[in-house]
Amino acid sequence: MGFRAGRGIADITGETAECGLLGYGKADQQSAGLHTRQRARAFAFEEGGARLLLVVCELPLMSDAVVREVLRRLPEGYGAANVMLTATHTHCGPGGYFHHRLYNSNTGGFRAATFGAITDGITEAALAAIADLEPARLRLAQGELKNASVNRSRRAFDRNPAADRAHFPDAVDPATTLLTVERGGRLHAAVNWFATHNTSMTNRNRLVSADNKGYAALHWERTVAGVDHLAATAPELVAAFAQTNAGDMSPNLGLAPGLGPTGDQFENTRVIGLRQYEAAAALIGAGQPAVGERPSEGEQASEGDRASEGRRPSEGEQGSKGDRAPGGSPDPGDEWVSGAREISGGLDFRATHLHLSAVEVRPEFTGDQRPHRTSPPVGGAAAFAGARVDGPGFKGFRPGANPLWDAVSRRLVYPFAPALRDAQYPKALALPAGPVNRVVPVIPESAPVQLLRIGPLFLIGIPAEVTIVAGLRLRRTVAAIVGAALSDVLVAGYSNGYLHYVTTPEEYDAQEYEGGSTLFGRWELPALCQTVAGLATAMRDGTPVDPGSPEPAVPVRARRPRTAADAPHPGRRFGDVLDFSLIGRRATVAFVAAHPSNDLRRGGSYLFVERLCGDGSWARTADDGDWSTVFRWARSGGATSVATVTWNIPEGAEPGTYRISYHGDSPPKGPFTGVSEPFEVR
């Protein structure tokens, strides 16, 4: 019996105005518009009566509240064991969708609108994938990508044993893995795994963005395959770019926020995303049309077009339909995957919930041949310093030594708490999340740990950010038990929840940012290795596992609703054009606006770029999900606001007459549309 596979995609973009962006934790990083929409891409698999569902979500983090709600809505046969919800870890997505306080700290509390957009979209994508199940051929390919990541925590990495460091001679994990789904001789779906942080956009950015992994997916689907994300029909191709053990991998090759490969955060997003796409597409092999054949139209921006906050290069990849590469799929019968191997061997899954605050770790997993125990979660002083390569944290904290916090911990805490010392030393204790949890739910303590098998491919689902050597140890643990090639075993980080970082004990001792954020102490990784060993053994032997006890549901604390009313400017109506300019290949229109959260336009768009057709009708050529457009929103005093739409006209845009429209909603009056005057593109 062969595989059946299906795919689905849906919009999960939350509040694009006045909502804290999750990832960097900055109070002043509030959404002020839209760079690229966030999407959930779902992949359903069946074989021999077994089912799996993988959903790759362009979210900063995966919330246990989101997981719980989505699982509740899925049909019978899909549950915590065989469904993996994983995040790409953009740091510029709207927050407020957790039920634990720490992650809503810059959003004013729980945001029902964003939570709803995320859960509705993930469910929609998942159900579409399940409904799309058809006989399919699955193929797996592996390669390397060496110019899209850098180790941002080299001092910690270098503490690992020589044998581990030798596995990563450049201190990065260059492995890129591609799983493809072919139906009827055509490429229908692709999932790529590559380890790099989704932090090309900096903590100065205020536009909602799916960042570099989002760009990679957008490029493959929109530019190469010609997918219209607003069409009612199923897309020709769904392509996801997922995370693996990216805990210490940064895309900022210059080792500073927004630096590398260029000095512009938008261009870096594009370049790092394009490199991930090209590496993935190259794995498909000869015979596949339009794979990495050229930069997309107009992508090379001039230096003068780049700027800092609120602007981006004047590139745009949305060309006319005729300019796009053919749908990313060859004619039936083409051997388009000559660089990949067809896979078989069925599906399997195991999962458990691990209470990480109290794990007895056996000697064979600790490295020093002695038993140890994890402790309740504590944030270290180094955690508050932030990952300085990607985004500095809070003043007064730094990676490594923090003299004041070190002194308090070593003189006043550790001498009187030997069990805590064994688990957490040498961490400078700063946030006792465990004790605080007893009063206010700050962070979860139960870790959903999962092992999925798709033929020869094994995915270790970990709800945390795993460094490359920590990932190596998890992978080796599973590979040795199930008899798999190490390259066929991947850590799927950021999956099914979020519990911060996982470092090796050696890296932990350095107390860099990642070690300070390894909340459950020095033995957290050994505890996880012990757990995945149990899952792998059960999978090998065909035996069940104890599912454990999931985290109890945390009641939602409602956020105080926004009270400011919308009003048009004096003497104006909603949608009126306030200003228009066409400078070079950039068209900008300012409209009298209403608050974007009145209607998130999930599955739709705040804007359209349209071209006049010969019959007098207008044809849409771009929307707010395209790289070539930017939607910005700002208050202009009192209840009035302005929406500014920018279209960076692609070099490949078909000459003709164009217009730009803005779509909003102002209760109780309802939806409205503003339209610019026509303008010429030559």
Mapping DSSP onto H, E and C, the string for 62-102 reads: CCHHHHHHHHHHCCCCCCCCCEEEEECCCCEEECCCCCCHH
Q: Round the CA-based radius of gyration of the chain to a whole number and report it.
A: 25
**249 is a domain residue:** yes
284 lies in the same domain as 142: yes
pLDDT for 29:
97
34 lies in the same domain as 136: yes
What are the tokens at 114? 């964003």
243 lies in the same domain as 358: no
Catalytic residue IDs: 250
Give the CATH number, domain containing residue 649. 2.60.40.2300
Mean pLDDT of the chain: 92
Range of the domain at 666: 577-681
pLDDT of 107 over the 90 cut: yes
**551 is a domain residue:** no
Confidence at 657, pLDDT banded by 50, 70, 90:
very high
269 lies in the same domain as 402: no
**53 is a domain residue:** yes
pLDDT (tens digit per residue) in 179-196: 999 999 999 999 999 999
Which residue, chain included where needed, has tokens 């997003």?
Answer: 269
**609 is a domain residue:** yes
Query: Is 67 in contact with 123 (CB distance < 8 Å)?
Result: no
**204 is a domain residue:** yes
The count of domains in the chain is 3
What are the tokens at 312? 């981006």
259 lies in the same domain as 363: no
Nearest to 298, CA basis, from 675, 54, 654, 582: 654
**157 is a domain residue:** yes
383 lies in the same domain as 513: yes
**649 is a domain residue:** yes
pLDDT of 528 over the 50 cut: yes
Average pLDDT over residues 382-400: 95
503 lies in the same domain as 596: no
334 lies in the same domain as 405: no
11 lies in the same domain as 150: yes
Query: Is 151 in contact with 172 (CB distance < 8 Å)?
Result: yes
533 lies in the same domain as 599: no
Among candidate residues 333, 348, 363, the one where a domain is terminated:
348
pLDDT for 62:
98
pLDDT for 281:
97
pLDDT of 644 over the 90 cut: yes
Confidence at 340, pLDDT banded by 50, 70, 90:
confident
400 lies in the same domain as 438: yes
329 lies in the same domain as 357: no
pLDDT of 582 over the 70 cut: yes
**268 is a domain residue:** yes
pLDDT of 316 over the 50 cut: no
Query: What angle, 0 to 180 degrees and rounded to 10, lies between the N-to-C axes of helices 64-73 and 112-131?
Result: 40
pLDDT of 99 over the 90 cut: yes
What are the tokens at 7? 């795919």
